[in-house]
A and B are shown apart, each in its own frame.
Chain A
Amino acid sequence: MTETDSNPTAATRRRWRMPEEIGVVVALVAMMAVIGIARPRFLNPINLFSLLGNTTFLGMLAVGMVFLLAIREIDLSVGWMFNFSAVVAALLMVAGLDPWLAAFIGILFGAGLGLVNGLIAVTLRLPAIIVTLGTYSMFQGLSLVVNKGRAIVPADQSSSFFSVISTKLFGLVPVAALVFIVLAIAMHIVLHRTRFGYRVQAVGSNPEAAAHAGIPTNWVRLQTLVLMGAICGLSGVMYVGFRGAIDPNEGGDFVLVVIAAVIIGGTPLSGGHGTIIGAVVGMMIIQVISSGLIFFGIDATWSTFVTGAVIVLAVSLDRLIKFQRARRAERSRETLRS
């Protein structure tokens, strides 16, 4: 019998331990409540599902970025992998290929771009952030060459690919958002319930120890970067289905928002740990702030500052909660010792 088992109070506390994402979830709910009280129209289901829809494409990238941060890597090329995959899929559709097949090829193409990042990073033993600093421009440039600097708009959008992805169930819930939620749940399970997920966190926690324990660290890094590419591909082809077009400059400004969402959600830059739920909530916080500023009628000249300030506030409150929880846990341990 363990020490805590002998103490019913401590055992109860352990059973009722709050999830680590509670801080950002409370921050999100509080923001929505405050905006909703001041501007009741904000809580209109149409607006809330619109916000969920707005979270979809960047949110998918954030889900993949959690794996990278957990393994102590950052991929700066996510926006252009998204764009390039979407452009390739859209061009195949324009060429007459079945949109479902074109979308599948687009996802594989995204995985291929991730593989390029991974192979360079692993073979040259470079951090992904350095490699993707270069491939960021390479993928952008190649995408511009392929799309000739113009939007790609598949002319025939009668395929079920477009109607299914852009459909809103009950006139409210975007199917694309449901795909995002399913992806997030699947990736949460992969990160926390599979050998691959444990390995990602082990390598991110201490690469040397992971290597000594027999984990093929290079293989895990490669898999993670390919996964990121495939998710970018998925997000890109879904974007084509949802919006019916892909523009040459779309995706260029995604990376900072994606990394911000993951960090707001509670995934540390130091690696070894990640939270998919936190990243999803982090992305929703960013969307709620953007929407809230407009509902409050805050002018553009102030909104940039307010956006940053609210993000800092949300992260500070989350850290404050975690700090207080850590102190309480420490006090509990001291009490048990005494």
Chain B
Amino acid sequence: MTRNSKTLLLGAFALALGVSTASAQDVTIGFVAHAQGDPFVQQIQDGAQAAANDLGVKLVVAQQAGGAPEGQLKLVQNFANSGAQGIATSVPGESMAKGLNEIIDSGVPIVQFNLLSTAVNAPYVGEKSVESGRVLGKMIVEKLGGAEAKGTVILGNCFPGFPVLENRAKGVQESLKAAPGLNVIGPFDVKVSAVDNFNRWEQLYGANPEAVALIGLCAPDVTSLGKLNAANGDKFVAGGYDLTELNLKAIKEGHAYVTIGQSAFVQGYLPVALLVNAVKNGAKLGSGFHNSGAQIVTADSVDMGNGLKPISFDEAQKLAADPAATIEYYKPWTQSLTAEILSAAPQPISAESE
């Protein structure tokens, strides 16, 4: 071997030693998510980590910046090849289905969360997407004056093509039809990064200054719309999704009206609990739907779903910012997850989009 080759080998070896921090535990669960850095996805990850801590397993997280199915599938395959006993993953595209089913057939259980493909033979933990859209649309119509409401409503989608988001749009549009005087335009691609998202909404409002309501379908929208409303004298009704810190701040300050939560903690916790139950107790994981529950938050009321105790808006804000407080708040729910409940048959997958 040449001197140069030795240098290379030593360099790579030193690097590997430096990064080799894994500790040995009995069960390793892989957790693969999209949109790295997104606060909502981080809340899901916090839920997954809480489950791993509670159940005494090791959780390894891999994420990609965007939502490309091929990149996500590679991460899942790497986990399967590395010997992870179970894998929880969001499924941002149909082209992952074939590869995921091959992994499932090889004996590695998989649970989908947040984004799904109905072609994957694995359970899905998430919201009832069309129904949550209906709830959001209904609240906006009521805020605008009910069936007599008039004006332009702009709809934005940060990831056109994602089935869950398309379903939300469908639900929103369905509810908005209750007011025939509303002219709905979109859904427009409003991008997912905070900067792009705000810019897109600003452009859309600039082109439609008469709009009476702006509705987003993703986590960054309420924050962007709140900023936009504040800069324009709070002229429109803003609504969207997810209980992130900044979204709640926009609502508290009166620049946004409503945000629909999809129980991020549950979407992280339940997949890990299902996988650990499958690994330790041999429970079968087939296709099916586990409803993570919807949360409805306005400045005046907070409904956290899942039969959880009522809390004030300030407490909801604290939960969004503090993973430890969230774990504590969800304890009655996490403690209710017995092996029997986890082994029970889920709803049919079609229930997700009813």
Are B8 and A294 in contact, CB atoms less than 8 angstroms apart? no
8 Å CB contact of A50 from B12, B16, B33, B81: B81
Chain A: minimal CB distance from B292 (Å):
21
- With most chain A CB atoms within 10 A of its CB, the pick from B7, B74, B75 is B74
Q: Find out whether the CB atom of B60 lies under 8 angstroms from the CB atom of A294.
A: yes
CA distance A41 to B28 in the complex (A): 15
Q: Name the A residues within 8 Å of B20 (CB-CB).
A: 38, 296
State A11–B9 Cα separation when bound (angstroms): 30
Which chain B residues lie closer than 8 Å to A209 at the CB level?
none
Select one of B45, B60, B62, B71 contacting A253, CB under 8 A.
Answer: B71
At the interface, yes or no: B77 with Cβ under 8 Å from chain A? yes
Q: Which residues of B (1-58) have their CB < 8 Å from a CB of A? A: 4-5, 7-9, 11-13, 15-16, 19-22, 28, 30, 33, 36, 45, 58
A253 touches B21 (CB 8 A): no
Q: Give the shortest distance, in Å, between A288 (CB) and chain B (any CB).
A: 10
- Offer 22 A-B interface pairs, CB within 8 angstroms, sorted by A: A23-B8, A26-B4, A30-B11, A33-B12, A35-B16, A46-B81, A50-B77, A166-B98, A243-B99, A249-B159, A249-B160, A252-B66, A291-B82, A294-B79, A296-B20, A296-B22, A298-B22, A300-B63, A313-B11, A313-B12, A317-B7, A321-B8
Choice from B12, B19, B61, B79 contacting A306 with Cβ under 8 Å: B19
Binary contact readout A19-53 vs B (1 if CB under 8 angstroms, 0 otherwise):
00001001100110111001101101011001000
B87 to chain A, nearest CB (A): 11
Contact of A151 among B16, B36, B93 (CB under 8 A): B93
Q: How far is the CA of A232 from the CA of B22 in the complex (A)?
A: 39
Chain A residues within an 8 Å CB radius of B97: 244-245
Are the CB atoms of B15 and A247 closer together than 8 Å? no
> Known contacts A41-B82, A299-B60: does B95 contact A243 (CB below 8 Å)?
yes
Number of chain B residues whose Cβ lies closer than 8 Å to a Cβ of chain A? 55
> Is A300 touching B36 in the complex (CB atoms < 8 A)?
yes
Q: How many Å lie between the Cα of A27 and that of B15 in the bound state?
A: 12
Query: Is B166 located at the chain interface by the 8 A CB criterion?
Result: yes
Docked complex: A103-144 residues within 8 A CB-CB of B: 144
Interface pair A250/B36, CB less than 8 Å apart? no
**Nearest-neighbor residue (CB-CB) of A296 within chain B:** B20
Chain A residues within an 8 Å CB radius of B7? 317, 320
A residues near B9, Cβ cutoff 8 Å:
26, 30, 33-34
B68 and A34 form a contact (CB under 8 A): no
- The minimal Cβ–Cβ distance linking B264 to chain A, given in whole angstroms, is 16
Is A100 at the interface (CB under 8 A from chain B)? no
Chain A CB within 8 A of B322 CB: no
Question: What is the interface of chain B, defined by CB distance below 8 A to chain A?
Answer: 4-5, 7-9, 11-13, 15-16, 19-22, 28, 30, 33, 36, 45, 58, 60-71, 74-75, 77-79, 81-83, 92-99, 119, 159-163, 166
Whether A96 sits at the interface, judged by CB under 8 Å, is no
| B68 and A320 within 8 A (CB) | no
B23's nearest neighbour on chain A, judged by CB, is: A297
Instruction: State whether B65 touches A295 (Cβ < 8 A).
Output: no
Contact of A245 with B95 at beta-carbon distance under 8 Å, contacts A46-B81, A298-B19 already known: yes
B15 neighbours in A (Cβ, 8 Å): 34, 309-310, 313
CB contacts (< 8 Å) of A243 on chain B: these are 70, 95-96, 98-99
Contact of A197 with B by CB under 8 A: no
Cβ of A12 within 8 Å of any chain B Cβ, yes or no, is: no
In the complex, A287 has a CB within 8 A of chain B:
yes
The answer to whether A84 has its CB under 8 Å from any CB of chain B is no
A144 lies within 8 A of B160 (CB): yes
In the complex, the answer to whether A290 meets B78 with C-beta atoms within 8 Å is: yes
Let me know if A253 and B12 touch, CB within 8 A.
no
A149 adjacent to B166 (CB under 8 Å) = yes
Among A38, A50, A291, A294, chain B packs the most CB atoms within 10 A around the CB of A294
When the two chains form their complex, are residues B94 and A153 in contact, meaning their CB atoms are under 8 A apart? yes
Bound together, the chains give a CA A34 to CA B17 distance in angstroms of 9
Given A239-B70, A253-B71, A300-B45: 9 more A-B contacts, CB < 8 Å = A33-B9, A33-B12, A149-B166, A250-B93, A291-B82, A294-B79, A299-B61, A304-B36, A317-B7
Q: Which of A50, A153, A287, A300 has the most CB of B within 10 A?
A: A300
Q: Specify which chain B residues have a CB less than 8 angstroms from the CB of A33 in the assembled complex.
A: 9, 12
Q: Do B74 and A34 touch across chains, with their CB atoms under 8 A apart? A: no
Q: Which residues of A276-320 have CB atoms within 8 Å of chain B's CB atoms?
A: 287, 290-304, 306, 309-310, 313, 317, 320
Q: Is the C-beta of A57 less than 8 angstroms from some C-beta in chain B? A: yes
- How many whole Å from A184's CB to the nearest CB in chain B? 19
